Amino acid sequence: MQKAKIVFVIQIAGLLAAFLYFYFSGRSIDLYFYTLVGSSLIYLLLGLQLKHIEVRKNEILLLILLMMAIKILFITINPIGSDDYYRYLWDGKVILNGINPFQYAPDAEELKHLHSEILPGLVSYPNLETIYFPLSQVSFAIAYLISGESVLGLKILLLLADIIITLGLYFLLTKRKSDLKYILLYTLSPLIIYQFFIDAHIDLIGIMFFLLAIYFYGKNKNIAALMLGASLALKPLFLLAIPIFFLSEESLRAKLKWLTIPILFLAITFIPFAITANPLSTLINFSRHWTFNGAVYNVLSLFLTSNYLMRFIVFVIFLIVYLLILRSKKNFIPTIYYSLFALYLFSPIVHPWYITWLIISLALYPKLSGMVYLSSITLSFYTVVIYQTTGIWEDNYLILLLEYIPVVLILFYEWFNSVKIHLSKTQRANAIFKKQN
């Protein structure tokens, strides 16, 4: 045990060294990639080690504070692996000037008076209206109020979300009588550091709302349903959670809450934007044509040429797998975990920050498949490196193989092993019942 603890401390030191080396060594896109992949490998080894050691409460608190210091340090730098934040800030600026960001593209003549040296010149796809959902827009407006065209306001909001998530995980793990050490699967994640505190993606706020939905589920289900609606109003990823909550209830009235409250909340947030524009036009365009880093989709692309046919096939397969997961009658958190995994594997587009939504269920349901995926997904940033250096954006099939083969093999092993255990328990219960009768 002592030897394992020493290895754990060395791994923590390696993780911190990777973060600090990146911060103090020029912060190029190449260094971004190497330190992200390297620190993610350390994170994976650390996660494996975590199972075999005892981590005292004061040690967990110290690590949380150390990582908080790292996050605050990275708040001071501009994003490197993504330029999405320019769109965030532009949308915030547009809203604060009383204009609907779903109504005009950034390069529209109607918005010329808002142009500056930075915005919207550095916004990607300036010919398209915004894709981001209503609560994302509210977040962008608040961030712009805080710091104008600086990314600092966004990162302050993300830091607040991170603090709430950390506290929420602490209380959830305590309530579930789970080992508090598994909060470190969230706290120490390089993907969290790089995607939110370097690149300032907005998803962390949606993750916070979903965690609050889980937290309030056992306290006040009306608030829990509202929190789920808030998460959907930031990004609709957890639409797949509605049937899970629905099936977890016994009474029809309770079931209907999970159908009505989140969807109604989501719909209400769209009303101010829908009066003067179609808020879903860019999202529909995105979902029809964009692709990146999809597992099953890229396999199909080796044999098929029709984009729409491939999207239809992956959707149907996902739906079948999702229904099988719902029918498996696993506990609440495992069902969310495997449903998310299915969504990622069958989606045509899987950016690394999308996978961070998995990390909440991973901390509450620690599985090797999740730790491996949170680590291997970082390899996809090779595409970003090539794009920023050559201007070419395309999937690399070797990277896809390295990223997905270990994940899929481990995931299948875990799934079938859990089914085997379930069947074994059922057989034992049946045998006891027969003896008693």
pLDDT by residue (tens digit) across 27-57? 899 999 999 999 999 999 999 999 889 999 9
pLDDT by residue (tens digit) across 239-276? 999 999 999 998 999 999 999 999 999 999 999 999 99
Q: Do the domain assignments include residue 402?
A: yes
Last residue of a domain, one of 199, 233, 260: 199
Q: Within this chain, do residues 407 and 295 fall inside the same structural domain, yes or no?
A: yes
360 pLDDT band (50/70/90 cuts)? very high
pLDDT by residue (tens digit) across 157-202? 999 999 999 999 999 999 999 999 999 999 999 999 999 999 999 9
pLDDT (0 to 100) of residue 425: 56
Q: How many domains does the chain have?
A: 2
pLDDT value at 329 more than 50: yes
pLDDT by residue (tens digit) across 54-80? 999 999 999 999 999 999 999 999 999
Q: Within this chain, do residues 192 and 340 fall inside the same structural domain, yes or no?
A: no
Last residue of a domain, one of 170, 199, 228: 199
Show Cβ contacts of residue 120 under 8 Å, excluding neighbours closer than 6 positions: 86, 90, 106, 107, 111, 114, 126
Percent of the chain with pLDDT over 70: 95
pLDDT (0 to 100) of residue 4: 82
Q: Within this chain, do residues 407 and 300 fall inside the same structural domain, yes or no?
A: yes
pLDDT (0 to 100) of residue 1: 61
Show Cβ contacts of residue 48 under 8 Å, excluding neighbours closer than 6 positions: 368, 371
**Gap between the Cα atoms of 183 and 167, Å rounded:** 10
pLDDT value at 427 more than 70: no
pLDDT (0 to 100) of residue 429: 47
DSSP alpha helix (H) spans, 25-56: 29-50
pLDDT value at 384 more than 60: yes
Q: Do the domain assignments include residue 242?
A: no
DSSP alpha helix (H) spans, 275-331: 281-289, 295-300, 307-327
Cis ω before 120 (30° cut-off from 0): yes
Alpha-carbon distance values, 359 to 45, 108, 181, 207, 364 (Å): 16, 39, 14, 9, 9
The type of residue at 313 is: I
In the chain, DSSP finds a helix count (H) and a strand count (E) of: 20, 0
Q: 306-333 burial string, b = 16+ CB within 10 Å, else e?
A: eeeebbebbeeebeebbeebbeeebebb
Q: Do the domain assignments include residue 48?
A: yes
Beta bridge partners of 293: 349
pLDDT value at 435 more than 60: no
Show Cβ contacts of residue 387 under 8 Å, excluding neighbours closer than 6 positions: 393
Q: Within this chain, do residues 430 and 320 fall inside the same structural domain, yes or no?
A: yes
Domain that holds residue 307: 290-437
Show Cβ contacts of residue 359 under 8 Å, excluding neighbours closer than 6 positions: 185, 186, 189, 191, 192, 207, 370, 374
Q: What's the chain's length in residues? A: 437
Q: Do the domain assignments include residue 263?
A: no
pLDDT (0 to 100) of residue 211: 98
Contact, 349 vs 324, CB < 8 A? no
Q: Within this chain, do residues 434 and 333 fall inside the same structural domain, yes or no?
A: yes
24 pLDDT band (50/70/90 cuts)? very high
Q: Do the domain assignments include residue 3?
A: yes
Question: Where does residue 366 fall: left (phi above 0), alpha (psi -120 to 50 degrees), or beta otherwise?
Answer: beta
Q: Which of 185, 147, 199, 124 is nearest to 352 (CA)?
A: 199
Average pLDDT of span 336-360: 96
**Whole-number average pLDDT of the chain:** 94
pLDDT by residue (tens digit) across 87-141? 999 999 999 999 999 999 999 999 999 999 999 999 999 999 999 999 999 999 9
Helix pair 397-436, 368-376: axis angle to 10 deg: 170
307 pLDDT band (50/70/90 cuts)? very high
Q: Do the domain assignments include residue 15?
A: yes
Q: Within this chain, do residues 328 and 185 fall inside the same structural domain, yes or no?
A: no
**Gap between the Cα atoms of 190 and 294, Å rounded:** 22
**Gap between the Cα atoms of 376 and 406, Å rounded:** 9
Q: Within this chain, do residues 194 and 339 fall inside the same structural domain, yes or no?
A: no
Last residue of a domain, one of 199, 231, 255: 199
pLDDT value at 437 more than 60: no
Q: Do the domain assignments include residue 372?
A: yes
Is 159 or 423 the better-scoring residue by pLDDT? 159
Q: Do the domain assignments include residue 356?
A: yes
Q: Within this chain, do residues 424 and 295 fall inside the same structural domain, yes or no?
A: yes
